[in-house]
């Protein structure tokens, strides 16, 4: 419900323990929107941001399918990897 650039960036940084530029986040979000994987809208101005509006994003069905496909491919590639790494 709170998916806008800064929260998306913070979530990625927390999960990966890597720094990420906000411009990289927005470039990726814009590209995903161009592919109809996301939809965006501009929210109402908020007092804590000095009246600036946030651009919110929501996953579209095409994006959910693409995400599921990528996840299945990733888990398929890593199947058995934990067992292999434990033998090293």
* Residues sharing a CB contact under 8 Å with residue 60, sequence separation 6 or more, in sequence order: 36, 37, 38, 39
Q: What is the pLDDT of residues 11-61, one digit of tens each?
A: 999 999 999 999 999 999 999 999 999 999 999 887 876 778 899 999 999
CB 64 within 8 A of CB 38: no
Tally of CA atoms within 13 A in the half-sphere of 72 that contains its CB = 6
Nearest to 29 by CA among 13, 53, 5: 5
pLDDT band for position 65 (cuts 50, 70, 90): very high
Q: Rounded distance, CA 33 to CA 20, Å? A: 20
């Amino acid at each position: 419900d709170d998916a806008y650039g800064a929260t998306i960036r913070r979530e990625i940084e927390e999960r990966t323990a890597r720094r990420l530029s906000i411009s990289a986040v927005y470039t990726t979000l814009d590209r995903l929107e161009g592919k109809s994987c996301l939809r965006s809208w501009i929210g109402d101005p908020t007092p804590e941001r000095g009246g600036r509006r946030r651009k919110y994003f929501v996953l579209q069905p095409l994006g959910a399918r693409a995400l599921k496909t990528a996840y299945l491919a990733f888990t398929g590639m890593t199947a058995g990897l934990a067992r292999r790494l434990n033998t090293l």
